[in-house]
Amino acid sequence: MKILVLNGPNLNLLGLREPELYGSRSYTELTNYVNQTAAELGLEVEQRQSNHEGVLVDWIQSALGTADAIVINPAAYTHTSVAILDALKAVALPAVEVHLTEPDERESFRRVSYAGLACEKRFAGQGFLSYRLALEYLREKNLECGMRNSE
Ligand code: CA2
């Protein structure tokens, strides 16, 4: 199972700013954590980060035919981007929304998630663990599908 893991704007600054909110580990540490988790779970992952909405849309589109599922932390675009919502709907792959913090417990403008409308699950407020939970969820779901298909 191949999973495209996308991270949105400013997540490349992890560990460099606002550690009280986002933790002290870097973006490279996040990608290492996700790679290690994927290896443990027997999943293939491709990870990308962009500060640009259109680039994220292009990558979501590129998942069609090249990935089985998407894990996405759209960062600030979570709360603004109909383009990312439309792209996720268009590719219609299983998608999971992840967040390091719990947006619902922060400013009221973070309570809306457009991307979440196209995602079947959300893991938030658990730091790096949110990404692991997303991968575990997709793996479990894939195993269940495989079992059903072999019946
Ligand atoms: O909790 C999350 O993962 C968020 O997606 C993070 C976004 C925020 O806009 C969402 O509401 C929730 C912000 C990402 C900014 O990342 C930074 C990392 C280090 C330093 C500064 C910003």
Hey, what domains does the chain have and what are their CATH numbers?
2-150 (3.40.50.9100)
- Claim: this prediction has a pTM higher than 0.85: yes
pLDDT exceeds cutoff 80 at 27: yes
pLDDT exceeds cutoff 90 at 146: no
pLDDT digits (tens, 9 = 90+) for 79-106: 999 999 999 999 999 999 999 999 999 9
Q: Residue 2's pLDDT is what?
A: 98
Residue 99 a catalytic site member: yes
Two tokens at 62?
Answer: 């590129």
What is the distance in A from the centroid of ligand 1 to the CA of 7?
10
Contact 76, 40 (CB under 8 A): no
Q: How far apart are CA 83 and CA 114, in angstroms?
A: 9
Name which residue sits closest to atom 9 of ligand 1, judged by CA.
76
What is the distance in A from the centroid of ligand 1 to the CA of 151?
43
| 28, 78, 111: residue to mutate for ligand 1 pocket, most atoms within 8 A of CB | 78
